[in-house]
């Protein structure tokens, strides 16, 4: 596999993991809204798993950069990083929303 194909595979992995993390976080909100807090917690953990995968890929990219193996930065690379950052923000917000639904259910 050539360098360009390898970079594309890494970038697409980031986009896919970011999208999956965001989707799982959204499912957690929906589950909490329906009162299924066990499922909500499960979906938040699932989201965290996708974000961990993305983080591991990013760490690999940073390690290569530190070794002097500079990656070509394309619009797709920037998009993948944006996707991850949005997923992290959405996951954090989803955790807060799930907590709010739990508190509302206690009353």
> Whose structure tokens read 């798993």?
49
Catalytic residue among 55, 70, 79, 83: 79
Q: In this structure, what token pair is assigned to residue 39?
A: 């499922």
Q: In this structure, what token pair is assigned to residue 105?
A: 């259910």
Q: Is 82 annotated as a binding residue?
A: yes
Separation CA 54–CA 87 (nearest Å)? 10
Separation CA 4–CA 30 (nearest Å)? 39
Q: Is 55 a catalytic residue?
A: no
Q: In this structure, what token pair is assigned to residue 5?
A: 């194909």
Separation CA 16–CA 28 (nearest Å)? 18
Residues in the annotated binding site for Mg(2+)? 82
Residues in the annotated binding site? 82
Residues involved in catalysis? 79
């Amino acid at each position: 596999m050539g360098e360009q194909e390898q970079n594309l595979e890494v970038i697409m992995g980031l986009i896919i993991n970011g999208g999956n993390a965001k989707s799982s976080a959204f499912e957690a909100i929906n589950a909490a809204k329906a009162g299924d807090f066990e499922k909500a917690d499960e979906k938040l953990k699932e989201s965290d798993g996708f974000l961990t995968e993305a983080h591991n890929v990013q760490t690999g990219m940073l390690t290569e950069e530190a070794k002097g193996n500079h990656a070509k930065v394309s619009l797709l690379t920037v998009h993948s990083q944006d996707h991850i950052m949005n997923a992290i923000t959405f996951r954090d917000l989803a955790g807060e929303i799930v907590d709010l639904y739990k508190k509302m259910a206690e009353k």
